């Protein structure tokens, strides 16, 4: 019956910058004193944006006050609009990260089905006269396992984030609520930025598996990529998420959020080593090198907050990426430990648990193993970024 817009705007004589932004409720129809709908408010849709993707979700330009003046109602205190907005935005960032996970999963399901049906060439060692399904070719198998492992890693991060949110509100122990709040704050920019970057990568790989047909709209593979492209942009660009992780979350509680996470990973590495299982030991090796690299980089980023914040900002995005790889590997490793325990006890579906272990091992050896090298790029500093002038960048 009515449409309610939440609008950020400035009151007259408001302070400069974000400190002067207030939040308003602007309804399509004004409300009479008896609660019934009244006159039409002076807010109209001025146009519909033509987007690269997300076509099922229209994005419109609104025009306020072109005739009589739009009526808005202050929500919260004056000049506290940003604080109100971030109440919504922090949770929305988790939701956007989940969008990345969901698009990754849908793209993977479709690519897997296509790879089982599409026949091209003969697989190595095949004695069949017919061409082989492309799923039999090593490079296609590599792409599929990459899609699966990345999707499961980002899903695990998002679920861990959701658990932390629940515990921060509902755990019976106040100390555990406080600890969960730190974990929630740490994981939120990783869920959003890493989850959506992976969504873009996975949906691109899904097109690649389809080959030329993936570039044709009738397969539907391209839609996942087009829809995923907005995710690193809205609800705070991924660059902003990286800065949040590299500055605010690094300083939070005197660095406690980062220290506790690294300590938890170290505890899991010890459990992996103590298992005596070759697959889990391989996971532990990659995870330990990554954990050490992230810990070292976090210290460097913290020092740069004091000495040269430009260096910190220049390394923020690769810092978030290595943290994402570490987090994904950590949560998959927890799953692998649980899977081995069930297998040892002879409980449940052994094939299901074997898949969990193999997926965790693949992710550790292909993605987590990249962390030490990527960590060095996070510590390059900002000087090289400014070696070229804007004029030279044009050359």
Catalytic residue chosen out of the listed positions 185, 235, 296, 347: 235
The residues facing 196 across adjacent strands are: none
Q: Catalytic annotation on 129? A: no
Please, are residues 327 and 187 in contact by the beta-carbon 8 Å criterion? yes
Helical residues (DSSP H) of the chain, grouped into ranges: 81-117, 138-170, 174-210, 221-228, 238-243, 249-251, 256-274, 278-307, 309-314, 316-345, 350-366, 371-378, 390-393
Helical residues (DSSP H) of 249-384, grouped into ranges: 249-251, 256-274, 278-307, 309-314, 316-345, 350-366, 371-378
Buried b / exposed e across 44-56, counting CB within 10 Å, b at 16+? eeeeeeeeebbee
CB atoms within 10 A of CB 103: 25
Tokens of 390: 């804007």
Task: Give the separation between CA 303 and CA 246, rounded to whole angstroms.
Answer: 11
List Cα–Cα distances, 281 to 233, 287, 331, 333, in angstroms: 38, 10, 15, 10
Task: Give the separation between CA 147 and CA 141, rounded to whole angstroms.
Answer: 10
Q: DSSP state, 306? A: H
What's the residue count for the chain? 395
Which residues are marked as active site? 235
């Amino acid at each position: 019956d009515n449409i309610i817009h939440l609008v950020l705007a400035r009151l007259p004589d408001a302070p400069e910058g974000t400190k002067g932004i207030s939040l308003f409720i602007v309804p399509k129809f004004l409300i009479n004193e008896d609660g019934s709908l009244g006159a039409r408010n002076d807010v109209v849709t001025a146009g519909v944006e033509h987007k690269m993707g997300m076509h099922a979700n229209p994005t419109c330009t609104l025009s306020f006050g072109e005739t009589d003046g739009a009526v808005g109602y202050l929500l919260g205190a004056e000049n506290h609009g940003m604080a109100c907005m971030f109440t919504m935005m922090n949770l929305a960032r988790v939701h956007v990260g989940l969008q990345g996970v969901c698009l990754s999963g849908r793209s993977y399901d479709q690519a897997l089905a296509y790879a089982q049906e599409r026949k091209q060439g003969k697989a190595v060692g095949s004695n069949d006269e017919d061409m082989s399904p492309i799923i039999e070719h090593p490079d296609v198998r590599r792409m599929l396992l990459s899609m699966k492992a990345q999707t499961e890693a980002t899903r695990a991060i998002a679920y861990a984030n959701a658990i932390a949110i629940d515990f921060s509100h509902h755990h019976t122990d106040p100390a555990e609520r406080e600890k969960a709040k730190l974990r929630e704050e740490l994981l939120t920019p990783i869920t959003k930025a890493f989850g959506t970057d992976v969504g873009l990568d996975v949906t691109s790989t899904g097109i690649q598996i389809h080959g030329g047909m993936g570039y044709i709209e009738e397969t539907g593979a391209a839609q996942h990529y087009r829809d995923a492209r907005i995710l690193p942009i809205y609800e705070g660009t991924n660059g902003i998420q990286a800065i949040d992780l590299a500055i605010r979350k690094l300083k939070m509680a005197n660095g406690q959020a980062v220290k506790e996470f690294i300590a938890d990973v170290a505890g899991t590495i010890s459990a992996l080593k103590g298992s005596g299982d070759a697959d889990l030991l391989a996971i532990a090796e990659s995870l330990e090198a990554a954990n050490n690299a992230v810990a070292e980089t976090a210290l460097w980023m913290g020092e740069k907050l004091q000495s040269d914040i430009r260096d910190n900002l220049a390394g923020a995005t690769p810092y978030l990426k290595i943290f994402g790889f570490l987090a994904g590997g950590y949560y998959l490793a927890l799953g692998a430990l649980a899977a081995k325990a069930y297998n040892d006890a002879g409980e449940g579906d052994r094939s299901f648990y074997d898949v969990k272990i193999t997926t965790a091992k693949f992710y550790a050896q292909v993605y987590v193993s990249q962390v030490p090298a990527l960590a060095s790029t996070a510590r390059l500093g900002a000087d090289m970024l400014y070696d070229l002038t804007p004029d030279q960048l044009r050359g």
